Amino acid sequence: MKGQVEILLVEDNPDDAELTLRTLKKHNLGNHVEWVKDGAEALRFIFGNGQPPVGDIHTPRLVLLDLRLPKVDGLEVLQRLKADARTRVIPVVVLTSSTQEQDLQRCYELGANSYVSKPVQFEEFADKVAQLGLYWLLVNKAPGPA
């Protein structure tokens, strides 16, 4: 049921995806999560097939976005989301293995709401994911869909 999706997880690595989903579930945040494996799928989920009715889009309450993705990479997904007035307000948290300064820079330029690098150590990783989910879905107050 797409209408109920609260978190869109864009992650090509099934292991990372499993760890993320497991953590979210553990904190009771995993019931309305949609996992897609590449950028193209992510865009299709949000914008549909580009066929009419054009206005029919999905606006999750949070997007967890990896950067290195097959087909359409994370930066492009981010750009598309932030360039469209209807999706601009969706919080996008970049969740990536990259610690590269240029990625960080570019993501903020494109309007990322947060940038989190995935630690190697599981406790750290789980802690970060849990914090993110709790913060963006429970603490943070976002405007309604445009």
Q: Is residue 71 at the binding interface for other proteins, with CB under 8 A as the rule?
A: no
How far apart are the C-alpha atoms of 106 and 121, rounded to whole Å? 26
Widest pairwise Cα distance in the chain? 45
Residue written as token pair 């630690």: 119
How far apart are the C-alpha atoms of 26 and 50, rounded to whole Å? 36
The H or E element that residue 77 is part of is helix 74-83
Strand locations in 19-127, DSSP E? 33-36, 62-65, 92-96, 114-117
* Among positions 1, 15, 52, 53, the unique one binding other proteins when judged by CB under 8 A: 15
Nearer to other proteins, 108 or 138 (CB): 108
The helix/strand count (H/E) of the chain reads as: 5, 5
Give the Cα-Cα-Cα angle 108, 43, 31 (nearest 5 degrees). 90
- Closest distance to other proteins from the beta carbon of 39 (Å): 15
Q: Is residue 31 at the binding interface for other proteins, with CB under 8 A as the rule?
A: no
* Among positions 6, 19, 47, 59, the unique one binding other proteins when judged by CB under 8 A: 19
Size of the site for other proteins (CB under 8 A): 21
- Closest distance to other proteins from the beta carbon of 105 (Å): 13
- Closest distance to other proteins from the beta carbon of 33 (Å): 18
Question: Binding string to other proteins for residues 75 to 114, with x set by CB under 8 A, is what?
Answer: ---------------------xxxxxx-------------
Q: Is residue 37 at the binding interface for other proteins, with CB under 8 A as the rule?
A: no
Residues at the contact surface with other proteins, assessed by CB under 8 A = 13, 15-16, 19, 22, 67-68, 96-101, 118-123, 125-126
